[in-house]
Structure 1
Amino acid sequence: MKVEVGKIVNTHGVKGEIKIKSDSDFTETRFQPGEVVEIEREGKETLEFKIASYRMHKGLHMLTFEGINNINDIEYLKGETIVQERDHEEIELGEHEYFYSDIIGCTVFDDEDTPIGRVIEIFETGANDVWVVKGDKEYLIPYIADVVKDIDVEGRSIKITPMEGLLD
């Protein structure tokens, strides 16, 4: 199964380096040199690239691809989405760890089983992830033990106990 791992937001320099805004988990593994990513161009071809280099710069993931040495060879892909095979043998999930693709799309319920909305995005903040939940309003739910009580990946549901003011 392929999952979205990021979006090309711009190029950097003239040697074909690109800036990626990541939508993924485990980027340090997914973006390692030698890993393969695909760009599925809507209504057009699917392009496959092997990562030649990876670094972080100002909060963005910077990649170069093998065989791409010039901005003109990659600039036309600005705005495109990058996908990758989900399964990585080297990624072992610990207890209370999930792939972003398992969480995004889940319905979030409070402790009285009232639906709050669906997880539409995940932000990495350093201390913990923050889930963007879209319901009648947009809520920011921290992924911490005090708030998130149960995650049912198969049932696509998450139960939370909101802290005071979290859903106001």
Structure 2
Amino acid sequence: MEQFLQVGVISSTHGLRGEVKVFPTTDDAARFQTLKNVVLDTGREKLDLEIQSVRFFKQFVIVKFKGIDNINDIEKYKGKSLFVTRENAVELEEDEYYIGDLIGMEVYTDDSEERFGVLKDVMETGANEVYIITSENHGEVLLPAIHECILDIDVEAKKMKVHLMEGLL
């Protein structure tokens, strides 16, 4: 399981006083209002940052970090990701999973003990998510994340059991 979960990406600076525009990668951008701390992945190290203020502008979250009061101190982090620790992550409902925990899962079908493929990505659509599975025998397979197709997910073992509906291959 992933220790850190991504909540956003710094897209640009905002003003001269150290604020940044963050593109949220979480389902609910409003959760930034209750966040106290985030982890900034600089590429070399992870920095713990305390959130001082949050406001919203179009699809972005404008964030001000405590102790960063100048554009020059934050500008170098454009394009870098913001994470929360698993303890600070949003509680999941039943049959909900963090995408970071799903990526890389080995996928098996209900009619065979052989590995079908590996979950490479999750595409979010309006109706439901779609799991993108890379299979050695079938190439890229798109599987809707519905109860009829996704039979079991074991996050600890990184395994998923699926039912391939007629017409998917």
TM-score (norm 1): 0.73
- Give yes or no for the alignment of 1:103 onto 2:87: no
1:14–1:70 contact (8 Å) kept in structure 2:
no
SS of match in other structure, 1:92: coil
Q: Which of 138, 141, 144 is 2:140 aligned to?
A: 138
CA distance in 1, matches of 2:153, 2:57: 31
1:9-20 equivalent positions in 2, closer than 5 A: 10-11=11-12, 13-14=14-15, 16-20=19-23
CA distance in 1, matches of 2:69, 2:125: 33
1:7–1:79 contact (8 Å) kept in structure 2:
no
Once the two structures are overlaid, the 10-residue window that deviates more, 34-43 or 49-58, is 49-58
- In structure 2, the residue matched to 1:4 is 5
- In structure 2, the residue matched to 1:48 is 48
TM-score (norm 2): 0.73
- Give yes or no for the alignment of 1:118 onto 2:118: yes
CA distance in 2, matches of 1:122, 1:17: 27
- Output one character per residue of 1:108-163: Cα deviation in whole Å (capped at 9) or x when no partner: 11222342322232233242222222333333222111111111222211111123
SS of match in other structure, 2:131: strand
1:40–1:47 contact (8 Å) kept in structure 2:
yes
Q: Which runs of 5+ in 1 are unaligned?
A: none
SS of match in other structure, 1:101: helix
1:57-136 equivalent positions in 2, closer than 5 A: 57-58=58-59, 61-67=60-66, 68=68, 71-88=71-88, 91-113=90-112, 114-136=114-136
- In terms of Rg, which structure is larger? 2
When the two structures are aligned, how many residues end up with a matched partner?
161
- Give yes or no for the alignment of 1:158 onto 2:160: yes
